Chain A
Amino acid sequence: MKVGTRMARRGSNTLFFAGLLGLSLPVLFLIFFPLGRLVTAPTFEDLVHAIREADVQAALLRSLLTALGAALVSLVFGTPLAYLLSRRDFPGKKLVEGLIDLPIMIPHPVIGIAILGLATRDTVFGRILEWMGIQVMGTYAGIVAVLTFVGLPFFLNTAKAAFESVPERLEHVSMGLGAGSLSTFFRVTLPLSWRGIVLGMVMCTARAISEFGAVIVVAYHPMLAPVLIYERFTAYGLKYSQPVAVWLIVISVILFVAMRFLSRPVRQW
């Protein structure tokens, strides 16, 4: 009787996992099939020709640098907030956490319009920006502002989780031994959580490099890669836009693999 139930259990387990795999196939298909078609559609000459064009090179470089810029801004200004949210409880904390996720839900052109509206000359804030000589429309400042807006939730959530994975006990021990809060942060918390923070930057960069709807409202020129791809598609069709799309995917993949590689866990002895 015991043998029978064990074998029956193993059989139903295999069936269960077979079912899981079967139901996962459509999802995997949805993700990989269109991308696979896209990546294999352009010919080698198309790809070489595209990457040689100055416009394409400039757009890809701009996308890369502005996305990394947004990640950097998120790092500098988001880390304190992420640490605060991971360690402190305060009234309204749930509200703040909900608001942080708001940028994910807002339609992208609306984000662009909102940020453009910041700089209008008939608001006090707009006039301060004007006095400082900061322009939003069609500038890298405006682009990075928009990209940071959309990428920040991804960085914050990942960094917060990274800080939460560091036991508070260790920080208390450190302070008990005489180190100050700042010293504890840099010498105890950060070394244990920096990989999570780098992952947060990866997520932020990934989100930022693909942004289109918000960017095209704020800045048509200077042109980022997604805007160039869209313009090429509407003006010339698939043949001239697919190669640029492939290059953007290739560069993104290289970037993310590199970032993940650099933050791989040290081999356990």
Chain B
Amino acid sequence: MGMNIVEKIMARASGSARVKPGDLVVVGVDTIVLYDGNFFPAYWRELNSVKNPESVVVVFDHRVPAPDRTCAKAHDVGRKFVEKFGIKRFHDVGRDQGISHVIVAQQGYALPGSVLVCSDSHTGSGGAFNCAARGTGGPDIIYALAKGETWFRVVETVRYDLTGRLQHGVSAKDLFLHIASRYRDHSNQNVEFGGPALADLSIDARRTLATMGTELNADFTIFEPDQIMLDYVRERSQNPFEAQYPDADAEYADRRTIDLDAMEPLVALPGKVIGNAVGVSEVKGERIHQAFVGSCANGNFDDLAIAAEVLKGQRVAAGVRFIVTPGSQAIYRRALKEGLIETLMDAGAVVTNATCGACQGGHMGVLGPNETCITASTRNFSGRMGDPSARIFMASPATVAASALTGVVTHPGEFLRGGRHAQG
């Protein structure tokens, strides 16, 4: 039998002819991404040497600009690390600031067929680029810096073949919620996406799906390469790479086909994502205090664009705080040039600088006791975005924006113009 994509990348990176589920592999790491969280004293250890400084990327994202002295100190430790080892790919507060997974995408750091580690759990985002990217722990990063390698346990893979096309206003987030609801968790499994629908699935949409693979409890989430993705990476990177395709006789734990035309807006109820999503109509009318669009999953340009389309010419409901956090300053600038920021702000949304922000409950939109929020971000766990008593509904950016306008959970359909397939 042949190998699937993750198995091929693991085989190459571990110097083996083939690997199979159950194997423990030690692999060379092509790219190591650090973020501000690595540099807090509870996590960080000063290194005497770094095996390959060229493989390192440092991005400050979770709490930027520093909201307090503890964070400011961690940033200082990070800057000293960058200086000590001459790290060239450094994204400090400023023009090239952003959420690490978004930066990794827009700079072409996640190369097809390569191995990338970062100690943020949503690192799987890089899987959109056919990169075996995975969240590890903080100590794994220090180990990879020192030795240039890490370990993985190879697990079985579920293959999703996507067909059809998402209707306008239905997003990759809704597709994710469908998968989490219908197929539930993917513990000890990789997820591989492919199929004809990729032709109409933007890079942003793929990144949303790959990022949310973490919330399926999947190990690796990875996409089959296509021309759109290869062109995107080549426009951003001069480095050579070898994209990996699944063998024709690759083995999968299961193969599932999803028709994107059949997707509809969904909402995950508070507390957990898996097996917890319902149609918008089932929670219609639920009153909200805060709405949020942002994070590594939904701070993309596409996400800001659909939110602006929903909001255009209208006002956010009284008593609702609508917070929009672009995934990077580059996305922010593009949205500014294209008029989206003005549309959002005229409607009453507050647009923050690029950061993880409210998604992680760290700053810029922390929820108070017993508040209700609807969010287009990564998690709806109790206490995720602030007080443990706050309730968090999770949905697409379009559904979140529509809900911000009415003050209650609302289907985005009535606020969207254009045809069924007006936008990819």
Q: Do A and B originate from a single complex?
A: no
